[in-house]
Structure 1
Amino acid sequence: MSNRAQELNAELGKVHLMGVGGVGVSAVARLMLDYGLRVSGSDAKDLPVLDDLRARGARISVGYDPANLGDADTVVVSSIIKPGNAEYDEAVARGLKILHRSQGLEATMRGHEMIVAVAGTHGKTTTTSLTAHMLKTIGAAPSFAVGANIASLGTNAELGTGEYFVAEADESDASFLNYRPDVIIVTNVEADHLDHYGTAEAVHQAFVDFASLLPEDGLLICCADDPGANELARTMRLKRPDLRVQTYGFAEHADRRLSDAHVRDGGRFAATIEWGSGQEHVLNLAVPGAHNLLNAAAALSVGINAGMDVDEALEALGSFSGAARRFEFKGEASGVRVYDDYAHHPTEVSAALKAGRAVAGNGKLHVLFQPHLFSRTREFYRQFAQELSLADSVTLLEIYPAREAPIPGVTSELIAQRVEVPAHVFAPEQAVAHVAGQAEAGDIVMTVGAGDVTYLGPQILDALA
């Protein structure tokens, strides 16, 4: 057992994780198992990830019961675990150490020489995945924790032997303030999660507070194309002149400038990237969309600042095949290709549909969209309608409530009524039949949203076949 593993074992003892089937908590469980800790966990549903954790030595239970705690010393909880959960209440009654998922992840980060945290309203999962993939492909053996499974890495979290730890930093409940990064990437800063923050100003302040966690001579990498991230870079240059602040993007003032974005033969997406005096290279990706060129430019900036060979880093980025639920190809039937995307904010929907348009070529784009959260729908229904109008047809499911109670008058019809192309709201079974009936050979179908719409892609393929 390494020194850090011994320290972690002494600090946490036996660890029980509640909500362990979630992608964030399962990542913490995998890392703790890699450290050699004794791990148990529970979740409300029997999910495929639980079998993987069992195979790696964790004691896993389905359903919440105080008995599941066993002789645990520390409990790690996801954001959805609240007082009133019998297992959680038992942990409180027994005086066990209780950590939020982010605090559990932070414990596994400590001891690494270079902690890279990737934050942003959108794009952080793919950017984290690209960075981890790049570092692993060139042999840097990073540790990483990502909010999705990465096909090229075979997992969403791993304890590597190298000095880097790359982590997705979730801003939704300000829990990213629990981390202590050496490098921060900020892809964008927009108003979202207003159920937690209340105002757009509070969201922006949270990112300022996050960037302020960087140590002296820490590195802040911001997207120059996004007004919020660009403003963060400007603010931190004034507030913390001891920091290194760099920008990337298509904007003229970006430190690493992208230009000439285009689709290559074979469906690859490419752009020129240049910096300094005379440094010019081609960024050539297998994943579609200008937004992914930006994400890759952010990852490349980490490699450049670490002194890695640029050509090796570019080649590694070019081999990245994508993260789960990020324009993920689900299959093809009757000449119709079906993709799934996690987009659940208007900006994300816009990026996803633009990528779909590029891939569709002369074919039509049919979108099955499920709004996520009543509060987000109330805030952005006009913008959702505007971005969904990029499609040729739009089918909507009712709002996925997640953690929220319904808000009177807030339904998917608010969006459907304002979409500028044919749009209808259906129950899932009818939605599948409707979408399959619309699509013809050469078209693209996209299931879009952060809820259970992801399970309808295979059903659409069956209906098409």
Structure 2
Amino acid sequence: MKFENVYFLGIGGIGMSALARYFLHEGRRVAGYDRTPSSLTEALEAEGASVHYEDDVRRIPAPFLDPATTIVVYTPAVPHDLGEFVYFREQGFTIEKRSQMLGHLAEGKYVMAVAGTHGKTTTTTLVAWLNRALTGGGSAFLGGLSKNFGGNLVLGDGPRLAVEADEFDRSFLRLYPDVAVVTSADADHLDIYGTHEAVKEAFSQFVRQIRPGGSLVIKQGVEITLDNPRVTIYRYAYDTPCDFYARNIRLAEGGHYRFELVTPSGVIGDLTLGIPGWVNIENAVAAVASVWCAARAEGSELAEEPLREALASFTGVKRRFDFYLNTPGQVYMDDYAHHPRELAATLTSVRRMFPGRRITALFQPHLYTRTRDLYREFAEALSLADEVVLLPIYPAREEPIEGVGSEMIAGLVRVPCRIVPREQLADTVAAMPTDVVISFGAGNIDACCAAIAERLRAKCRS
């Protein structure tokens, strides 16, 4: 790339910060704007990036004001009337979406892309971890903070590149993978797509972009148009017989599972996944299928013992089945789930892990449009808990919509349910009779986790 400087609009996003870290590693000068400080922006500043939090052209560092030496990367969540965005556009800077830049960086790599309306972050991260274990190398751009790698960027030798392929704003259509995983194609981001059919068509287009001779690994039951004759299609499932699936699944201590994995080339036995939850067994099946395809493309087979060790040592992603407290008398965990299918899958997993125990779900809806479109499904999923506490909607990039609020969900939940302000959440939970507590949401509910955990620990000590 000819540019010495890379400026990011929305530098604090999980995907944007991974790109920023990549360019810092490459020796480029990096700066950017975001609305609020976060642990991600603090880490970037510690690594050498210049970050500010006011939309003010005067805050842009001088070296980044020359269009001949600076490229601008933006996230679709940034409004086009943002002052700095307008300035860069009017001054003739080269401006690219995050997905465009990611597409450039994927050129010349063996791309292993994981797409889906849910499940993709854990699956992508496990693909990256398996690549490292099985090849000693591999790189990755992740949509979450990997506990094994200590971040959202993985840099390693070899051609394999694991990428989380984000369907928001059709960003994943900038990728041309060698192996693609599709975990789901549910109705989501309808503010962008309009209809569920349009969502499914975007996933169909993504599959069409798999390179000739490549492979598609798609969850059993996901129905999209598959009309790319140049690729091999494999189906995967949790325990339904198909090309890749788990069998002889046994629940072990702490919610972990032992299982066997059926593949087209045989059965791999005596596997244990290092993170709990049945839904993560399904994610693991998809990840192993992906690296199985990569190995076959290289003319080799999976090495079973390194695979066993890698699955057992996988520690997951921050805010995915993230335990803060796990005792016989009190459990508290946090999860990023923000779609009804994700909520239902996680609650079902927790119910299996802790049979007979009382589950309290804390949920912060994310986006007015998603709540408007899916409030019935949210209520149905949350009714799998024994009690529910809702927070007001986290707006993210959206303005309020008249008549849309958490009350729409609360009115249909079939178990005891209340709505409280976020600042009262820890006190509310502390005053409730609790057993197994799980918080959900893609907004800022995670800022409450430490306080909730401390209050629950205090209850255990009293």
- Name the counterpart of 1:274: 262
Name the aligned partner's letter for residue 186 of structure 1: V
Is the 1:35–1:159 Cα contact (8 Å) retained in structure 2?
no
Which stretch of structure 1 is more off in the superposition, 79-88 or 117-126? Answer: 79-88
Quote how far apart the aligned CAs of 1:372 are: 1.1
Amino acid at match of 1:200: H
Q: Which residue of 1 aligns with 2:80?
A: 83
- CA gap of 1:182–1:139, structure 2 versus 1, over 3 A, is closer
Matched ranges for 1:254-269 at <5 A: 254-269=242-257
Distance 2:42 2:432 in 1: 38
The whole-number CA distance in structure 2 between the counterparts of 1:293 and 1:216 is 29
Q: 1:123 to 1:173 in 2, by over 3 A?
A: same
What code does the residue aligned with 1:450 have? Answer: A
Deviations 1:157-196 (A, max 9, x none): 1322221110101001101111121111111111111000
Which moved further from structure 2: 367-376 or 101-110? Answer: 101-110
Aligned residue runs from structure 1 range 117-266, under 5 A: 117-224=113-220, 227-228=221-222, 231-232=223-224, 235-236=225-226, 239-250=227-238, 252=240, 254-266=242-254
Matched, 1:304 2:292: yes
- Residue from 27, 30, 43 that aligns with 1:39: 30
The verdict on how the C-alpha distance between 1:29 and 1:261 changes in structure 2, with shifts beyond 3 A counting, is same
Change (3 A) 1:177 1:425: same
Report the Cα distance in structure 2 between the residues aligned to 1:334 and 1:327, rounded to whole angstroms: 18
Correspondence for 1:316: 310
Give the AA of the match of 1:31.
Y
Please, which runs of 5 or more residues in structure 1 have no aligned partner? 1-7
The one of 377, 382, 385 equivalent to 2:376 is: 382
Partner of 1:455: 447
Asked if the contact 2:254–2:353 (Cα under 8 Å) also holds between the matched residues in 1, the reply is no
Matched AA of 2:94: K
Q: For residue 218 of structure 2, what is the amino acid of its counterpart?
A: C
Tell me how far apart the structure 2 counterparts of residues 303 and 309 of structure 1 sit (CA, whole Å): 11
Distance 1:258 1:463 in 2: 39
Contact 1:332-1:461 within 8 A present in 2 as well: no
2:287 is the alignment partner of 1:292:
no
Measure the CA separation in 2 of the matches of 1:253 and 1:460.
Answer: 41
Aligned partners of 2:134 and 2:303 also within 8 Å: no
2:414 — aligned with what?
A: 420
Residues 303 and 310 in structure 1, CA contact (< 8 A), matched pair in contact too: no
The secondary structure found in structure 2 opposite 1:71 is helix
TM-score by length of 1: 0.91
Matched residue of 2:168: which SS? coil
The C-alpha deviation readout for 1:385-437, integer Å capped at 9, x for no partner, is 11111111101111111122222222211211221111111112333222222
Counterpart AA for 1:289: G
Range moving further from structure 2, 35-44 or 152-161: 35-44
CA contact (8 A) 2:146 2:316 kept: yes
Q: Quick one: structure 1 residues 85 and 328, their matched pair in 2 at CA, closer, same or farther if it must change by over 3 Å?
A: same
> Judging changes above 3 Å, is the alpha-carbon distance between structure 1 residues 278 and 171 closer, same or farther for their aligned structure 2 residues?
closer
Q: Hey, what does 1:51 align to over in structure 2?
A: 42
User: 363-372 or 266-275: which moved more?
Assistant: 266-275
Question: Which amino acid in structure 2 is aligned with residue 459 of structure 1?
Answer: A
Q: Contact conserved, 1:303 with 1:313, CA < 8 A, in 2? A: no
| Distance across 2 between alignment mates of 1:280 and 1:425 | 47
Q: What root-mean-square deviation, in Å, do the aligned CA atoms of Structure 1 and Structure 2 show?
A: 1.9
- Please tell me the residue identity of whatever aligns with 1:396: L
SS in structure 2 of the partner of residue 209 of structure 1: helix
Moved more, 449-458 or 44-53: 44-53
Task: Check conservation: 2:268, 2:304, Cα contact below 8 A.
Answer: no
Q: Secondary structure at the match of 1:173?
A: helix
Q: Is the 8 A contact 1:16 1:69 kept in 2?
A: no
CA displacement 1:237-292 (0-9 Å, x = unmatched):
xx222211111114645211223333113431233221336534243212222221
Q: Which moved more, 1:347-356 or 1:401-410?
A: 401-410
Q: Are 1:365 and 2:359 an aligned pair?
A: yes
Q: 1:97 aligns with which of 79, 94, 97?
A: 94
Partner secondary structure for residue 339 of structure 1 = strand
3-state SS, counterpart of residue 96 of structure 2:
strand
Matching residue of 1:4: none
Give the Cα separation in 1 of the matches to 2:417 and 2:158: 50
Q: Which residue of 1 aligns with 2:54?
A: 63
1:421-436 counterparts in 2 under 5 A? 421-436=415-430
- Find the residue that maps to 1:53 and give its secondary structure: helix
Retained in 1: the 8 A contact 2:6–2:29? Answer: yes
For the residues of structure 2 that align with 1:357 and 1:204, how far apart are their CA atoms?
31
Query: Which of the residues 24, 33, 36 maps onto 2:15?
Result: 24
- Runs of 5+ in structure 2 lacking a partner? 65-69, 296-300
Question: Are residue 352 (structure 1) and residue 346 (structure 2) matched?
Answer: yes
- Partner AA of 1:267 in structure 2: G
Q: CA deviation at 1:314?
A: 3.0
Query: What's the counterpart of residue 403 of structure 1?
Result: 397
Question: Using a 3 Å threshold, how does the CA distance of structure 1 residues 253 and 336 change in structure 2: closer, same or farther?
Answer: closer
% identical aligned pairs: 38
Separation of aligned partners in 1, 2:48 and 2:454: 37
Instruction: Report the 3-state secondary structure (helix = DSSP H, G, I; strand = E; otherwise coil) of the residue aligned with 2:16.
Output: helix
Instruction: Deviation per CA, 1:59-86: give whole Å up to 9, x if none.
Output: 3333232131533320001122222212
